[in-house]
A and B are shown apart, each in its own frame.
Chain A
Amino acid sequence: MRTTPLPRPAPAPVQRPGVVGETTTRIDGGPKVKGEFEYSSDLWADGMLWGATLRSPHPHATIWSIDISRALALPGVYAVLTHEDVPGRKVYGMEIPDQPVLAWERARYQGEAIALVAADHPETARRACDAIDVAYEVLEPLSDPERAMAADAPKLHLSGNVLRHITLRHGDQAATADVVMTGEYEVGSQDQAFLGPESGLAVPDGDGGVDLYIATQWLHVDRDQLAESLGLSPEQVRLTMAGVGGAFGGREDLSMQIHACMLALHTDRPVKIVYNREESFFGHVHRHPCRMHYEHGATRDGELVYVKARIVLDGGAYASSSTAVCSNAACFACGPYNVPSATVDCSVVYTNNPPCGAMRGFGAVQVAFGHESQMDKLAAALGIDPVELRIKNALAPGHRLPTGQVVREPAPVAELLERLRAMPLPPDASPGPRDLRELPGGVSNTTHGEDVRRGIGYGVGFKNVGFSEGFDDYATARVALSLDGDGDPLVSVHTAAAEVGQGVVTVQAQIARTELQVERVAVLTADTQVGSAGSSSASRQTYMTGGAVKMACEAVRERLLQRVADHAGLDPFDLSLAGGAVIDSRGETVATLAEALVSAPIEETVEFHHAETYPLDENGQGDAHLQLAFSAHRAVADVDTRLGLVRVVELATTQEVGKALNPQALDGQIDGGSAQGLGLALLEEIQIRDSQVLNASFTDYLLPTILDMPPVKKQVLEHPDPDAPYGLKGVGEPPNISTPPAVVAALRSACSRELARIPVRPEQLAGIDEPRRSRPPAPGSRGPAGARPTRS
Chain B
Amino acid sequence: MDFLQPTSLTEALDIMSAHPEALPILGGTDVMVELNFDRRRPAQIVDLGRVAELDDWGAENGRLRIGAGVTYARLIADLGERLPGLAIASRTVGSPQIRNRGTVGGNLGTSSPAGDGLPPLYVSDAEVELVSSEGRRRVPVERFITGPKRNSLAPGELISAFLIPEAEGPQQYAKIGTRNAMVIAVCSVALALHPSERQVAACVGSAGPTPIRALDAERFIAGVLEEGNLWESPRALGDTALRRFGELVELAARPISDVRGTAAYRLHAVGVLGERTLKWAWNDYCGGSR
Q: What residues make up the interface of A, taking CB atoms closer than 8 Å to B? A: 126, 276, 278, 437, 440-448, 450, 642-645, 647, 682-683, 687, 694-695, 697, 699-700, 702, 704-708, 761-763, 766, 768-773, 775, 778-783, 785-787, 789
Contact = CB atoms under 8 A, between A and B. Distances in A.
B38 A450 contact: no
Contact of A708 (B147, B179, B258): B179
B154 interface: no
Interface of B: 33, 36-38, 88, 91-92, 146-148, 150, 172-184, 186, 208-210, 254-265, 267-269, 272-273, 276, 280
A608 B177 CA distance: 50
Nearest to A763: B265
Contacts of B150: 780
A704 B177 CA distance: 12
Nearest to B279: A450
A788 to B, nearest CB: 9
Nearest to B146: A780
B268 A704 contact: no
A700 B260 contact: yes
A442 B93 CA distance: 12
B180 A444 contact: yes
B178 A762 contact: yes
Main secondary structure of the interface of A (DSSP, over half): loop
Given A702-B179, A789-B257, A780 B148 contact: yes
A645 B176 contact: yes
Given A643-B269, A781-B208, A781-B254, A763 B181 contact: no
B261 A441 contact: no
Contacts of A445: 88, 91-92, 172-175
B36 A762 contact: no
B259 A781 contact: no
B265 A444 contact: no
B257 A787 contact: yes
A437 B178 CA distance: 14
Nearest to B179: A702
A126 B41 CA distance: 13
Contacts of B276: 446-448, 450
B180 A789 contact: no
Contact of B264 (A440, A682, A683, A763): A763
> Which among A446, A704, A761, A779 has the greatest number of chain B C-beta atoms within 10 A?
A446
A762 B147 CA distance: 27
A444 B175 contact: yes
B283 to A, nearest CB: 10
B184 A766 contact: no
A789 B182 CA distance: 22
Given A699-B184, A762-B261, A763-B264, A785 B255 contact: yes
A442 B179 CA distance: 9
A780 B262 contact: no
Contact of A766 (B147, B177, B182, B268): B268
B175 A446 contact: yes
B268 A772 contact: yes
B267 A647 contact: no
Given A276-B36, A446-B174, A778 B264 contact: no
A278 B263 contact: no
Given A443-B92, A445-B92, A687 B265 contact: no
Nearest to A442: B180
B259 A687 contact: yes
Given A448-B280, A705-B181, A708-B180, A763 B262 contact: yes
B178 A761 contact: yes
A444 B172 contact: no
A126 to B, nearest CB: 7
Contacts of A126: 38
A444 B264 contact: no
B288 to A, nearest CB: 16
A768 B268 contact: yes
B181 A782 contact: no
9 contacts: A443-B91, A443-B92, A444-B181, A444-B183, A446-B175, A683-B179, A762-B265, A785-B255, A786-B262
